[in-house]
Amino acid sequence: MYTDENLTDAVTEGIFTEESIQKFRSHISSQRATPIVDEENFKLLASFNDIFVVIACALLLFSTSWVTYNINPVLAMASISILSWGLAEFFVLKRKMALPAIVLLITFVGAVFALVQSSFGSLSELSLMLSGAMSSVAAWLHWRRFKVPITVAAGAVTAVVFIIALAVSLIPSLEEYTSSLIFVAGLCVFYVAMRWDAADLNRVSGKTDVAFWLHLVSAPLIVHPIFTNLGILKGNDSVLITVVIVALYIVLSVISVTIDRRAFMVSSLVYVLYALTQLFKTYGFAGDSFAYVGIIIGFSLLLLSGLWHRSRSALFTIMPVSIKNKVPDVK
């Protein structure tokens, strides 16, 4: 399997011409009846060997942590981080395997975070601050070495933990505004994601994969505080709140279509499902409420998926030029 980035590299090496590659991409788009850019592709699997290697890595890492944890939790986390880096040297740097790269990055950064936490023994602002700082440095070092697209998103998450923990430790009264801090952090990550997107509007290089993971991180950081403050998870399932949630979901869907990213819709879907399910229960559909909601939402999402390009084309006609220049074109 060859990715757009592989084709771009082939042009750089003089194997193919830029014109031939563009013709090939246009041909594939015409076969799919939708532009490649709208497909939101990202590299995950090259072959079943990726899955095979991930299973083997998971077995090795889990067993190692089990054995070493009985000796010392810090030793266990240190072992996982060292093993994850060592395995990445072969399977990521030399073999260029996508799924193992993602898994090994997560285990490496996660192990570094847990390593610092284990050193403290209990959760506190200081432990979160140092864990976030050290794992952010670890993510940066991993990026410098392996250039795995998800690394930037992982580093963004740990940086958010560090910054919020630092803010709360300096100003303790901010603790009651944690949701607001998370929301602001989500907006910042979203801005960074849009910058990566703007650097590759045709979505043919590794930059689009970095942007994909950043959007996947920013979406829940933005969406969760909004719906949490509405009280939906605390039983506040009135008709008014349900209408507000559905309206917010429509707004988020418009944003998703505008920027040609589906992360916002996916992140907020669970809240919409919960709110509508509770509403159906209130009006006498207690037994099958989730099934009815699933049918409505599932059909709506499939309809939007089929009309995604047409929806973007319609929005593009009324979109300000300043926004058009920052999102993929409608071709």
What share of the chain has pLDDT > 90, as a percent?
45
Structure tokens at 306: 């089929």
**Cα–Cα nearest to 273, from 242, 231, 247:** 242
DSSP for residue 15: S
DSSP for residue 122: S
DSSP for residue 16: S
Q: Furthest-apart CA pair in the chain: how many Å?
A: 67
Structure tokens at 227: 């719906």
Mean pLDDT of 145-155: 96
Please indicate whether residue 281 or residue 98 has the higher confidence score (pLDDT). Answer: 98
Q: Output the pLDDT for position 235.
A: 66
Mean pLDDT of 202-228: 88
Q: How confident is the model at residue 34 (pLDDT cuts 50, 70, 90)?
A: low
Q: Output the pLDDT for position 286.
A: 62
Identify the weakest region by mean pLDDT among 72-81, 146-155, 187-196, 254-263.
254-263
How many other CB atoms sit within 10 Å of the CB of residue 136?
Answer: 23
Q: How confident is the model at residue 72 (pLDDT cuts 50, 70, 90)?
A: very high
pLDDT tens, residue by residue, 85-142: 999 999 999 998 999 999 999 999 999 999 999 988 788 889 999 999 999 999 999 9
Q: How confident is the model at residue 28 (pLDDT cuts 50, 70, 90)?
A: low
Mean pLDDT of 267-279: 78
pTM of the model: 0.85
